Amino acid sequence: MRPAAFALTAFFVAGLARAAIYENTVTVDDEEDLFDLQQRGDISDATADTLLELIREGVDLNSADRDALYDLPGLSYADVDAIIEYRTAKGRIEDPTELVSAGAITAEQLLQMAPFIRIDEARPVLPVSGKLHAQGRFSNGDNVPPPALLSARLKGPQNLSAGFMMFTTRRRTSRPAFDDLNQSLGITDFRYAPQLPRIFAMWAPGKAKLVVGTYTIGFGERLTLDTTRRITPKGIYLTDDFRRPNDLASTCRITNADGQTDPTSACDQSTGMNRYITPDYAWREVFRGVAGQIEDLKVGDEGSLSLYGFASYQQRSIYQYELFDKSVCDDPREDNNAACKAPAVYINGGPGTLKYSTLNNVFDEIAGGGHVTYKPIQRLTFGVTGWGALPIFQQQPMQLDFQEWSRYPTGGAFGAIGADAHLAVRAFNFYFEGTRTFDRRPDSPGGGFGLEQRSTYSPKGHEIELSLRLYDPYFGTPFARPISSPDEIDGLRSRNEAGARIRWLGRLNKDWEARVRADFWVNPWSLDGVMPAGVTNLYALARLDFTGWRFFQPAVWVDVRNRNLTSNERGLCSSGTNVYTEGDPFICGGDLYRAAIRMDITPFGRKLQGMVQGYFTWRDDFRYKDQFRNDLQIWAELRSQPVDFLQLRVRTRYLNQDLLDRAYLEESVWTYFEAAWIIGRGIRVAGRYDLYVWLDQRDSTLNRFPSPEHRFQLDLRYQF
């Protein structure tokens, strides 16, 4: 396999990719750029996960179907259809620049999607190919060995492939068990230990696929089943996805203890001193078991049938406050009943108890299901999906279950069944999915209904999308990702919501590119103690890019997040959907308004590129009862590739989360320098140094160690 971006270097002046179908323009060269975009808030966590998966896996231009190509940044359905038409006529794409010469896409679009595509060789020179990725991180606060990452993929003959992804961690708990001494949950101390969250083998002859190990799976509009991070999932995927948290992690996570039970702890509770160390890597717990699919079985003259199935046994982790004990509490909604709170978690028999932590492998989960797709004609598709899952807790005599605000439903088994359809008519695409979920939550009808309809119109150079959704108060499943607002009700976003989202992406002329996105939603049903019916909300974003100048390209955008259109009340929180405490979360209902400007400067092509970006934000805050809190971010970057085998990058950020009070929130300067050496065609070695300087006067800042922070990262990638 070879990344198509290598071929582009000889044809175009090296440039940065610009995404077009996501919520904001994404300037991407590699994974580091994606992490920085997520850190700045330019893209959501969900978009970051999608793009990271695409850039790591790559989309093969010769085998990807219409849905897979549509996930690529910068492409509309019209562009995707043009690529498929060219590929069908020619038989095979050897170089992606052919698409530009044929008029299927523009040169700018090719640069946009270059980091995300690959071209697998038709006849590999060697019967075995693969890739290896190793990474280590450490900081001047570490008092134990640092976390590390190792992943590998191997592709062999006879359509066989395999891979794994492993980490070392320091802050991950043991599996909790019943503690006889304290009559509650107990764990052993934190330890430096290896973790193996991904291991898989796959046989993929022709249109069939059989996977043993870890995998993700998804279909339709993501309403019934989707554990992938794709925009338009269809089937089974292998993924090495992980997150690399940026901020150092606090070691103060034990109460009423001297800290000796935690080898990474230097938390002096008498003085308030708090040691911060390099955070562990984070990953999703995907399905683990066996899955298979066979696609495009011929039915009649034009029809086809595709079949998918999976079975999984996985151990799941969960935030410690999402549990309760049914043996002492009948209904977790009794918030005034102390017995209904999450059980204490003791460390090595006490007296120390854990706080604000995720418990490792708390419960076992058995899950299984399937999907059938029928295509009577090429541009009309019908599908049916069904699945079920059963969580099993082993901490007897306690009878653990989930709190009502957990994303997992209380009461035991749960599942869903749904139907979807897709019709493509010229430049129009129509999608629909309806789902019925099933669960055993107390005082519920046993599940709920959800409906989603999405339409796109894709003339050349433009994309207009309208999506409509309706979810009743009892709808919801932890294994789906439908379009929804950020509001969570009982742990899930897709619940008690009627909404409409519209987005337009396109070129006004050859020099101006624009995007507009608006999401309006309302809560149709009143929920006692949570929210009244009829609360209207609006999220909107508008961005304008000028691309007419070769060496200087500016962009401006505004972001509006109004959580209650009928209220102008100040003094509410706007930090996100929920704020978690030692118990239930509560909804943040404040507003946020942001203005941003960006300037890309490329005076000498790839030899020297620069960027300056600034944000000014007005947001609600509990502390300010009659005005907004103002915060400011300024980013600057220089990057250079003076020779083919060397890439250099330096980036700095100034952050001030409250311009009026230096003792309230964070004020900091973060700078990092990265150098990457490219050895031959398959080896890349990169080193990175970060300097994080805290400037605010909060007690937590004055008592933190280390300050300033010195962080280091070494990254090795090998592809053959």
What is the DSSP track for 434-481? EEEEE---TTS-S--EEEEEEEEE--TTEEEEEEEEEE-TT---TT--
Which one has a higher pLDDT value, 578 or 618? 618
Would residue 69 count as lying in a domain? yes
What distance in Å separates the CA atoms of residue 123 and residue 543, rounded to the nearest whole number?
44
**How many domains is the chain built from?**
1
From CA 202, how far away is CA 197, in angstroms rounded?
17
Residues paired with residue 134 on neighbouring β-strands, in sequence order: 150, 716
For residue 2, name the pLDDT band (cuts at 50, 70, 90).
very low
**Direct distance between the N- and C-terminal alpha carbons of the chain, in angstroms, rounded to an integer:** 8
pLDDT exceeds 90 at position 42: no
CA–CA distance, 412 with 308 (Å, rounded to integer) = 25
Distance of CA 322 to the CA centre of its chain: 21
Given a cut of 50, whether residue 5 has pLDDT beyond it is: no
pLDDT in tens, 692-707: 999 999 988 998 899 9
Count of C-beta atoms within a 10 Å radius of residue 270: 6
Question: Is the pLDDT confidence value at 319 over 80?
Answer: yes
pLDDT band, residue 261 (cuts 50/70/90): very low
21 compared with 116, residue with greater pLDDT: 116
Q: Cα(613)–Cα(604) distance, rounded to whole angstroms?
A: 20
User: What pLDDT, on the 0 to 100 scale, is given for residue 8?
Assistant: 37
What would the two tokens of residue 171 be?
Answer: 């802050």
Tens-place pLDDT, residues 546-569? 988 889 999 999 999 988 888 778
Contact between 580 and 589 under an 8 Å Cβ cutoff? The reply is: no
- The arrangement of strands across the sheet holding 274-277 comes to 249-250, 274-277, 704-705
pLDDT, averaged across the chain = 88
627-661 core/surface letters (b: 16 or more CB in 10 A; e: else): ebbbbebebbbebbbeeeeebebebebbbbbbeee
Q: Are 659 and 632 in contact (CB under 8 A)?
A: yes
Tell me if 684 is assigned to some domain. Answer: no
* Residue partners of 300: CB distance under 8 A and separation at least 6: 376
Query: Minimal CA–CA distance to 379: which of 136, 91, 81, 669?
Result: 81
Calculate mean pLDDT across residues 304-326. Answer: 97
530 confidence band (pLDDT: 50, 70, 90): low
Partners of 671 in beta bridges = 652, 691
* CB count in 10 Å sphere of residue 66: 18
pLDDT at 586: 54
**pLDDT at position 17 over 50:** no
**Half-sphere exposure of residue 335: CA atoms within 13 angstroms, side-chain side:** 9
Candidates 545, 494, 493, 499; CA nearest to 522 is: 499
- Residue 201 falls in which region: left (phi positive, over 0), alpha (psi -120 to 50) or beta: beta
Q: If you write DSSP's letter for every residue of 96-119 in order, what string do you get?
A: THHHHHTTSS-HHHHHHHGGGEEE
pLDDT of amino acid 4:
44
In 3D space, the residue among 674, 671, 673 whose CA is nearest the CA of residue 709 turns out to be 671
Spatial separation of the C-alpha atoms in residues 207 and 332, rounded to whole Å: 47
Q: Which residues of 171-199 are buried (b: 16+ CB within 10 A; e: fewer)?
A: bbbbebebbeebebbbbebbeeeebebbe
In a domain, 586, yes or no: no
- Kindly tell me the burial class for residue 317, based on how many C-beta atoms sit within 10 Å of its own C-beta (0-12, 13-18, 19 or more): middle
Residues ≥6 apart with Cβ < 8 Å to 576: 486, 588
pLDDT band at 351 (very low <50, low <70, confident <90, very high): confident
Q: By CB neighbour count within 10 A (0-12 exposed, 13-18 middle, 19+ buried), where does 352 fall?
A: buried
Lowest mean pLDDT among 218-232, 247-261, 377-391: 247-261
Domain that includes residue 15, residue range: 2-119
Structure letter (DSSP) for residue 509:
S
Distance, in Å, from the CA atom of 329 to the CA atom of 305, rounded to the nearest integer, reads 49
In a domain, 14, yes or no: yes
Q: In sequence order, what are the beta bridge partners of 9? A: none
Average pLDDT over residues 626-649: 95
At residue 584, the pLDDT reads 52
- Where do the H-state alpha helices sit in 102-218? 107-113
pLDDT in tens, 415-466: 999 999 999 998 999 999 999 999 999 888 999 999 999 999 988 778 899 9
Position 273 scores a pLDDT of 65
| Assigned domain for 85 exists | yes
The reported pLDDT for the residue numbered 14 is 33
Among 14-18, 88-92, 118-122, 524-528, top mean pLDDT goes to: 88-92
Count the helix, strand and coil residues of the chain and give each as a percent rounded to the nearest 5: 10, 50, 40
Collapsing DSSP states into helix, strand and coil, what is residue 679? strand
Q: Are 602 and 627 in contact (CB under 8 A)?
A: no
* Interval 149-166 mean pLDDT: 95
- Phi-psi group of 583: left, alpha or beta (phi > 0 → left; psi -120 to 50 → alpha; rest → beta): left
Length of the chain: 720
Cα 247 from Cα 260, distance rounded (Å): 24
**CB count, 10 Å around CB of 208?**
15
Rg, the chain, Cα only: 26
CA 575 to chain centre: 18
Q: Among candidates 472, 465, 430, which has minimal Cα distance to 450?
A: 472
Question: What beta strand segments (E) does 116-257 contain?
Answer: 117-119, 129-139, 148-155, 160-169, 177-179, 184-187, 193-203, 208-218, 235-237, 249-250, 254-255
Q: For the whole model, what pTM was predicted?
A: 0.90
User: Mapping DSSP to helix (H, G, I), strand (E, B) and coil, where does residue 180 land?
Assistant: coil
